Amino acid sequence: MKYRKFGSLDWQVSALGFGAMRLPVIGEDQAKIDEPEAIRMIRYAADHGVNYIDSAYMYHMGQSEVLVGKALKDGYREKMKVATKLPARMIEKPEDFDRIFNEQLKKLDIDMIDFYLLHGLNKEGWTNVRDFGVLKWAEEQMAKGRIGRLGFSFHDEFDVFKEIVDAYDNWVLSQVQYNYMDVNEQAGRRGVEYAAGKGLAVVVMEPLRGGKLSKEPPAPVAKVLAGAPSQLKAVEWAWSWIWNQPEISVALSGMSTIEQVVENVRLADRYEAGNLSAGELKIYDKIREAYNSLSPVPCTNCRYCMPCPNNVEIPRIFQLYNDAVMYDDMRTGRFMYNSPFFPPDQRADNCVECGECLEKCPQNIEIPDWLKKAHEALYQEMPPAPPG
């Protein structure tokens, strides 16, 4: 196992971290974790050098932290640092901080959480918890020895990311969605560089884009890989790109099978910063181009069409639809489109075809027509099962 510097801390973190959000389940019920198998997977990772495990209050319908607590018995707590998260979107009053945190300590059955993150921050969520005094509250918990260090995970634009990083001098880590297809999405490469430059550990989530980049690639991508100077599997291309970057401290993988754990542990001992040649780095540009050629809607996310007078979140809908098609993963697209995190008043069926977006779109996209197609493909009346 390779180890890396964890921001400004005098501690080395394993290049691979265990993400406890896609644990094996019984049937389709995300709340029913296959405990023996999940514990076996976590302990295998720990026995092979993984020393960072990441959970959250909402993962597996609230059961992930319980499972992690059980996995860390029998001496495994000493082998792994524990990270979990405060659900920022669920905070309605300052008293919620203590209520949720105490519940998490009980679920994990530990006295102190090594790294406590504000979960999934965007502009609205950050403003909410900040104004309720979350930083002062967290400082009090750290003084009591119940929290080791504070961080945040993030889903928004770079400017919001920069604002959050600059708002507090004692962040120790930032967790961002990052992979070779998301270089310019959300915090993106700029966010990775900015956080690392401020001395924060950069924790990467979705390095395989929810497993999409580890699947058998579609024909245009397979053609690119066949002509590459190094003959690697799809998952190896994804991991080597992540670990090539010295700014990244640890990359989380939400593993669902013991085979995935074994493979990822093996690869985490193989790749390190600077492992890619100039020729190999150029391949990623061709891979992106090949994947993007599969996108049905030629949307560049310039957002000239926004704001929509009827509140339709046009670019986000097109991104979900494009991703579902290009990665052949309509299940995840439907889950995201119909989840509580996508308000119904922002969906495509709120379009009244007023034509205002047509006048603004520099790509001349027939936006109302594509919104209809996207809604037909993504909408489900019954909530879909979470991807995993």
pLDDT digits (tens, 9 = 90+) for 26-85: 988 889 999 999 999 999 999 999 999 999 999 999 999 999 999 999 999 999 999 999
Domain region containing 341: 295-388
pLDDT given for residue 383 in this prediction: 57
Q: What is the pLDDT of residues 338-385, one digit of tens each?
A: 988 789 999 999 999 999 999 999 889 999 999 999 999 999 876 555
Tokens of 218: 């579609």
Q: What is the pLDDT of residues 114-161, one digit of tens each?
A: 999 999 999 999 999 999 999 999 999 999 999 999 999 999 999 999
Q: Report CA torsion sign: 299, 302, 305, 308.
A: positive
Task: Give the span between the Cα atoms of 258 and 286, in whole angstroms.
Answer: 32
What pTM was computed for the model?
Answer: 0.88
H or E element in which residue 16 lies: strand 16-19
Task: Give the span between the Cα atoms of 24 and 22, in whole angstroms.
Answer: 7
Stretch 287-300: mean pLDDT, rounded?
92
356 falls within a domain = yes
pLDDT given for residue 28 in this prediction: 80
Whether 232 and 179 share a structural domain: yes
Whether 261 and 317 share a structural domain: no
Whether 319 and 357 share a structural domain: yes
Residue partners of 369: CB distance under 8 A and separation at least 6: none
Q: What ranges in the chain are assigned the alpha helix state H?
A: 35-47, 64-71, 95-108, 123-131, 134-143, 158-166, 188-197, 219-226, 234-243, 258-268, 278-292, 314-326, 330-337, 356-360, 367-378
Whether 135 and 161 share a structural domain: yes
94 falls within a domain = yes
Task: Give the span between the Cα atoms of 205 and 22, in whole angstroms.
Answer: 12
Q: How many domains does the chain have?
A: 2
Q: What is the pLDDT of residues 158-174, one digit of tens each?
A: 999 999 999 999 999 99
Whether 208 and 126 share a structural domain: yes
Tokens of 358: 């047509």
Question: Is the per-residue pLDDT at 10 higher than 90?
Answer: yes
Whether 277 and 351 share a structural domain: no
> Last residue of a domain, which of 222, 257, 285?
285
Question: Is the per-residue pLDDT at 314 higher than 90?
Answer: yes
Question: What backbone phi and psi angles, to 5 degrees, belong to 30?
Answer: -65, -15
Identify residue 6 by its one-letter amino acid code: F
Confidence of residue 240 (pLDDT cuts 50, 70, 90): very high
36 falls within a domain = yes
Residue partners of 16: CB distance under 8 A and separation at least 6: 1, 45, 50, 250, 251, 253, 264, 265, 267, 268
pLDDT given for residue 143 in this prediction: 98
> Last residue of a domain, which of 285, 318, 340?
285
Identify residue 137 by its one-letter amino acid code: W
Whether 170 and 247 share a structural domain: yes
142 falls within a domain = yes
Q: What is the pLDDT of residues 198-228, one digit of tens each?
A: 999 999 999 999 888 998 999 999 999 999 8
Q: How does the average pLDDT of the chain come out, rounded?
A: 94
> Last residue of a domain, which of 254, 285, 316?
285
Task: Give the span between the Cα atoms of 370 and 322, in whole angstroms.
Answer: 11
pLDDT given for residue 388 in this prediction: 54
Task: Give the span between the Cα atoms of 247 and 295, in whole angstroms.
Answer: 30
Whether 337 and 230 share a structural domain: no
290 falls within a domain = no
Q: For 109, left (φ over 0), alpha (ψ -120 to 50), or beta?
A: left
Whether 302 and 171 share a structural domain: no
Whether 235 and 343 share a structural domain: no
